[in-house]
Structures are given as structure tokens and as C-alpha cells.
Structure 1
């Protein structure tokens, strides 16, 4: 399968195969993780490099470049442990494109933050990436916002990037709490406890809708 193409200058197109062993050397991974690479990945291609010398947009002290890696997979499952190794080995931020047979998906991580978090699209859902901006970091932040808006359904307002990330984190925690409460309601035999759980659930659902606005 050909590497997924984007509307970027030809100078940004790298299309370079990266041996899996390169990541083993840089990240010093154990044999178990090496086996995960073998089991999950057919081929890793460095598809694009977004930097001042390729797209004429300057970097910042915290983010000079943004890479796009194409990951050809052996199964329709995103190998998150493998991505952690790659992100540890590569200093710049990476937008991932995943391909399995005729299926595709996208992913990225909040790499510059202390709390590393991954965002993924649904399979076969196209996202309209905007590779324009004042800086490389600005482009990266717009990409993260696109994932958050797509997956979490948060309305992106004129708020700081950190505020939007915090909203998404709170929403993810709420989703876990709601799922736990729904499970308790399904399995609880005592009616009075079901009522109590339902009351808490209603409040959590209201919080969720408020956060998304």
C-alpha cells in the first residue's frame, strides 16, 4: 500500500523506510517490546518532515519540527506500546498514519507535556488536517485540537491550548466514572443503591455535557 499523501510541499516529502532496529538502539527496549514490533508492524515509513526548511514555517524552542510517520500494520489494532518506544526515540512530535489492508486511522501524542497522552481517530474516518500556521507548534496544536473535537466532541472555543487539554482530560475521567456507574447499576440487586447510583450518574452526565460546550 502506498504511503498516504497530504497537501504539503514536495520538499516536505521524505518517503524513507526506517528499520525497526533503529528504535531499539535509541530507546534501549527489551526483547518483549522488540517482539511486539515484529508482531504488529510490517513497515515504518518516515513520510513527511514539517520544518522551516521544508514548509517555510518556523519552529519554536519547544517544537522545531513535526514528523509524519506511516505505519503499515499486521492487524487492525494500533500498537500503543510500539508508539511509546518510537516517541521516546524521536525527539520531535509525530503525526501517525496507520494502514491495515484497505483501512486507515490517525494518531498523535501530547509529547511536550509531562503527562503523555495519545489521541486516535476512528478507523476509516478522514480528518481534515490543516498544515498552515504561524509556527510548527501552532500547526501541532491545531492537529491535537482536531483530534479532541473529533473524538471527545468538545466545542473548541477561543481558549488556551492547555485549557483545552485539561477539559479533554476531565472529560476522559468523567467517561470512565460514567461507565463504572452504569456497570454498578446493571449489577446492583438492591433497589435503594440503584437509585443512589442513578442520581450520581445523572449529575455526571450533566457535568459531561457542560464540559463539552
Structure 2
């Protein structure tokens, strides 16, 4: 399970961010604004992890890490909301999403663009499962600089979500109401040796393949002609085999971290 961290008091910021400020920076359209109103109660810029607040050296790619707490009106959250906040804040972000006495952690790998270091590249979002807000929090990991801290904060999210996505797949009609492809997370090491970017590349490939498997399954469910079902089944087997290959690569990388 992804750890909740006891963020240092010296890093406390505690500033409420008006939604309209996010709209301005993200050039939000009406649909995204509606999502903010429907799903978000309050956005709090909770902590600033920076050299002057946690005594770690800044790096070229990670000068600071910001911790945002989002108080939700609903359990579901449009990922475009997180992306809009990420676009508005020119630092890597870690989100704590709060709802009904529970919390989950979410983040995307965020880095300066190679073409223009004044712009940021925001990848896919990775999330933990929901846990109780009063779950005991850990002290921050001991690292040498901000880049290493960012990796230690983000890597468990990547591992956890990838583990859920790589459990044995069941067709939708075999799963109970509200059940997804996700399964409980098996704890992983805190300090992976495999580079963060490698893990993320593997995780994004698995996410894409899981979505492809689900799309093929949906086509199979709709198709009535026998010959076409045979062809779709073959396509489904190939996609599942490729997913198993990607899973094996990911698990092999994880084993090197032990």
C-alpha cells in the first residue's frame, strides 16, 4: 500500500486556491469548469517541499515538490481536473484526494520539456487505493536531493497501480457490480533500483494494453456473427498474451529492486 507521509511542519503552506485561478491558467472550457463545480469542494496548497523547508538540495529537474489536498464532493474525479492543476503550477505535484473520511494519493510524472525547459510535460496519472484518513503517516524517506525524494514519492504509486492492472483479467460479465480489473496491492520495496522513467514507460504500456483488451472484449460482446467472433477472439488472445509479456517485464524489473 502506498504510504501516507507526515509532511514536515516547516513545509506547511496551507493556502486555499480559488478554482477560478486554476481556470485562468488552464484555459478551462465549460465542461471542465462544470467538473470542478460538481466534483471539487476545496483545493488546498498544503505543503511546499523545498530546499529551505526540508533541507534537501534542489536539482535541475526538481527544484520543489508541492503537496495539494483536494476535498472532493464525489468519489469519482475527472483526471482532467488534476491535469489542469498540474498545468497551473510549475513544479511536480503530489495530490492527496480526500472524501468521506478516506484519502488516496495521486500523481503524474512531471518533468521540464526537453525542447523548452519553461514548459512541463505531464504524463499519465497513477493512484493508490482509498485508505482511512487517520491511517498512521510515515516520516519522509532519507534521500540526498529533491530528485531522489520525488522518485521515492512517485515510484510506489506506479508500482501499486501497475500491480492492480496486471492481476488476472476477468471478462466484465464475470465480475460483480462495481468490480474492476483492479485487485488489492501487494506491498513493494520502497527504493526501486529500476529508474523511474523506465517504470513509468512500462506502466503506461500496461495501461494502454489493458484498455485495448477491454475494447476488444466489448466488440466481442456486441458481435453476433460466428466468423467475426472467431477473428475477434484471436485478436483478444493476442492482446492478452502481449499484456502478459508486459506484465512479466514489469515484474522482472520489480524483482531487481528487492
**TM-score interval, normalised by the smaller of the two chains:** 0.7 to 0.9
Tell me the C-alpha RMSD between the 2 structures.
Answer: 2.8
Match of 1:150 in 2: 160
Q: Which consecutive unaligned segments of at least 5 residues does structure 1 have? A: none
Which has the higher mean CA deviation after the structures are superposed, 69-78 or 119-128? 119-128
Aligned to 2:255: none
Paired with 2:17 and 2:161, the residues of 1 have a C-alpha distance of 30
Match for residue 140 of structure 1?
150
What is the correspondence of 1:1-213 to structure 2 with a 5 Å cutoff? 6-30=5-29, 32-112=31-111, 114=121, 116-124=123-131, 131-153=141-163, 158-212=193-247, 213=251
Q: Residues of 1 paired with 2:60 and 2:228: CA distance?
A: 54
Structure 1 contact 111–117 (Cα < 8 Å) conserved: no
More displaced stretch, 145-154 vs 22-31: 22-31
Partners in 2 of 1:211 and 1:198 — Cα distance? 20
Aligned residues, how many? 209
How far 1:158 moved relative to its partner?
3.5
Post-superposition offset of 1:150: 0.7
Does the 8 Å contact 1:42/1:74 carry over to 2? yes
Q: Which runs of 5+ in 2 are unaligned?
A: 114-120, 167-187, 252-258
Q: Tell me whether 196-205 or 150-159 shows the greater mean CA deviation.
A: 150-159
Alpha-carbon contact 1:78-1:98 (below 8 Å) kept: no
Out of 184-193 and 102-111, give the one that drifted further: 184-193
- Given that 1:52 and 1:59 are in contact with CA atoms closer than 8 Å, whether structure 2 keeps it comes out as yes
Tell me, in whole angstroms, the C-alpha distance in 2 between the residues paired with 1:180 and 1:32. 25
CA contact (8 A) 1:97 1:105 kept: yes
Greater RCO (Cα-Cα under 8 Å, separation 6 or more): 2
Residues in 1 aligned to 2:232 and 2:31: alpha-carbon distance in whole angstroms: 42
